[in-house]
Structure 1
Amino acid sequence: MRTVLVVDDGPAELELICSYLREGGYTVISTTDAKDALAKAESQKPDLVVTDVVMPGMSGFELCRSLKKNEATQQLPVVICTSKNQDLDKLWGKKQGADAYVTKPFTREDLLQAVQSVV
């Protein structure tokens, strides 16, 4: 069973993503804070991270960059799941190390397909 760390500061979005992943057979760890996600990524060793971009304190882009720079988490696949849907946003996400990019609104299938493509 694969474990996914989900990071989103919106409670409704967080719950929706978590429920889709659980329905898809994944174990889910969640947080609303990117800095907390960094700690959880190291301590709980998930198989994958799904993160929003627009969050207070640290953005999902910064989270992705931090994960990819850290030797302990650099191999961890990252799926960005955000309302930022411009081509430039997607390009920037890839430059930060994102392995997949899903734009909101998304379907259950969109999310699971992105997750399955990187694990």
Structure 2
Amino acid sequence: MSITLTQTILIVEDTPSEMELMSHYLRDSGYTVVGAVTAQEAIEKAIALKPAVIVTDVVMPGMSGFELCRRLKKTPETAKIPVVICSSKDQEIDRLWGLKQGADAYITKPFTQEQLIRAVKSVTL
């Protein structure tokens, strides 16, 4: 008999349709989802909620997902939370830069439900 704890995933995405799609994929797979539209909101929610994983877009108003990742990894309360960057930037240099900022995984849009869940699971094991 195994007891599974519902893991909370924080999604940082400023496009409503993308937020909806990711939320649906994750909820469908048994995760609890919390959304943030800006990087600043994401930092506040990450500190307050301590999610299992943060999935962030790169291109957002104000602070980019790369900068958000850097900030989260430098903040003691959020430094250990795995970050998955989910971006339409699909060049190898973008992926490498994302990982250099501290991201634990990088997936590109468009993605399948399987790709998103695999990325989330890969950073929580």
Q: TM-score range by the shorter chain?
A: over 0.9
SS in 2 for 1:25: coil
SS in 1 for 2:85: strand
The CA deviation string for residues 62-83 of structure 1, in whole angstroms up to 9 with x for no partner, is: 1100000001110000000000
**What is the rounded CA distance, in whole Å, between the counterparts of 2:33 and 2:90 in structure 1?**
25
In structure 1, the residue matched to 2:106 is 101
Letter in 2 for 1:73: T
**What is the rounded CA distance, in whole Å, between the counterparts of 1:111 and 1:10 in structure 2?**
17
SS in 2 for 1:72: coil
Unaligned runs of 5+ in 1: none
2:31 corresponds to 1:31: no
Q: Pick from 41, 48, 71 the counterpart of residue 43 of structure 1.
A: 48
**What is the rounded CA distance, in whole Å, between the counterparts of 2:47 and 2:20 in structure 1?**
23
TM-score normalised over the length of structure 2: 0.94
2:77 corresponds to 1:72: yes
Q: Cα distance, 1:44 vs. partner? A: 1.1
Q: How many residues align?
A: 119
Q: Cα distance, 1:31 vs. partner? A: 1.2
SS in 2 for 1:5: strand
TM-score normalised over the length of structure 1: 0.99
Unaligned runs of 5+ in 2: 1-5
In structure 1, the residue matched to 2:94 is 89
* Percent pairwise identity: 60
Larger radius of gyration: 2
**What is the rounded CA distance, in whole Å, between the counterparts of 2:68 and 2:24 in structure 1?**
22
Letter in 2 for 1:113: R
Aligned CA-pair RMSD? 0.4
Letter in 1 for 2:27: R
**What is the rounded CA distance, in whole Å, between the counterparts of 1:16 and 1:89 in structure 2?**
23
